[in-house]
Amino acid sequence: MADPACERLALIGVGLIGSSIARAARQFGAARHVAVMDSSQEVVGRAGELGLADVATQDYAQAVRGADLVIVCTPVGACGDVAQSLAPHLEKGAVLSDVGSVKGAVVAQMTPHLTEPARFIPAHPIAGTEFSGPDAGFATLFQNRWCILTPPENADGAAVEKLTKFWMRLGANVETMSVAHHDAVLALTSHLPHLIAYNIVGTADDFGDETRSEVIKFSASGFRDFTRIAASDPIMWRDIFLANKDAVLQMLGRFNEDLSVLQRMIRRNDGQGLLEFFSRTRDIRRSIVEQGQDTAAPDFGRRAEGR
């Protein structure tokens, strides 16, 4: 293997993201040696069966021994406890990172336990599916997707460079921004849509049995897309909403204001207003497709390519 991004990679947590990183690191030559750790014996056993890593263990010390890059891939609510258990075993000079969808809460939970906080470079790969577990991962998950780094002000420059090289080797486009800016942007682009999806599917569930069965039977494309999002890991999303509650509540307030405007347009038969609003939002969708962040093809199941 020529010029890997790191020599020994350790991944804490072997769900969709952790198992995808393990697969990608091997396929694209990002690490010479890969170790995975999970608190679940069943998950560790499955990771071993799948051949995801050179070492699969429930032991922190064994997982991070000799590792120059350690990435925490657990739900954000567990990051503090993980950091406390992990920190005593980290090699001096190792780069530590994470993959959480929230950065402020993760930084607050993890940093107090670290002896080299300047080498903790939080990250968020904006990629995923509604599936979870070690079987859900695939090596191309991060191809042409964004990975946002939120290094602290005193961050070690070499650590940022190392992590950037790693994610680029996995096929990601890397962007750097502040923790606060990340959490505000993701509250709108990711967290609020998931909250809306959970709510809409929950509304359907509130109907009587007969009506609810018809909603499921006759689901149109819009409802199918919402159910896909609402099928995401409930533990992960519980933690995200609680960890980023201020930004989510701010975006939810703005959403409710805009929804009230739409209600008034419909009540007043304001067809021109609705047309202008829908045309503007359609242009945003076209921009997303043009930037390669999705496809214009209908694919309501969103079956991942490359599986």
DSSP 35-99: EEE-S-HHHHHHHHHHT--SEEES-HHHHHTT-SEEEE-S-GGGHHHHHHHHGGGPPTT-EEEE-
Phi, psi angles (nearest 5°) of residue 40: -90, 125
Asked whether the predicted pLDDT for residue 200 surpasses 90, the reply is no
CB 73 within 8 A of CB 149: no
**pLDDT for position 236:** 85
The structure tokens listed for 222 are: 């819009």
Strand order in the sheet with 146-149: 123-125, 146-149, 173-176
Amino acid at 14: V
List all residues 6 or more positions away from 122 whose beta carbon is below 8 Å from its beta carbon: 97, 98, 100, 103, 106, 107, 149, 150, 151, 179
Task: Work out the pLDDT band at 193, boundaries 50, 70, 90.
Answer: confident
**pLDDT for position 307:** 40
pLDDT tens across 110-131, in order?
999 999 999 999 999 999 887 8
Task: Work out the pLDDT band at 168, boundaries 50, 70, 90.
Answer: very high
CB 247 within 8 A of CB 208: no
pLDDT tens across 90-111, in order?
999 999 999 999 999 999 999 9
**pLDDT for position 226:** 77
The structure tokens listed for 60 are: 């922190």
Average pLDDT, integer, range 198-206: 80
Asked whether the predicted pLDDT for residue 69 surpasses 90, the reply is yes
167 by DSSP, 3-state: which? Answer: helix
Average pLDDT, integer, range 35-53: 96
> Is 265 exposed, middle or buried (CB count within 10 Å of its CB: 0-12, 13-18, 19+)?
middle
Question: In whole angstroms, what is the distance from residue 140 CA to residue 106 CA?
Answer: 26
Cα 172 to Cα 21, 30, 149, 179: the distances in Å are: 11, 12, 12, 19
**pLDDT for position 273:** 93
**pLDDT for position 50:** 96
pTM summary value: 0.82
CB 89 within 8 A of CB 61: yes
Average pLDDT, integer, range 251-273: 94
Q: What percent of the chain lies above the pLDDT cut of 70? A: 89
Cα 65 to Cα 92, 93, 117, 297: the distances in Å are: 11, 12, 19, 45
Task: Name the nearest CA neighbour of 196 among 187, 185, 207.
Answer: 187
Q: Which residues pair with 120 in a beta bridge?
A: 96
190 by DSSP, 3-state: which? Answer: helix
| Domains of the chain and any CATH numbers | 6-177 (3.40.50.720), 182-290 (1.10.3660.10)
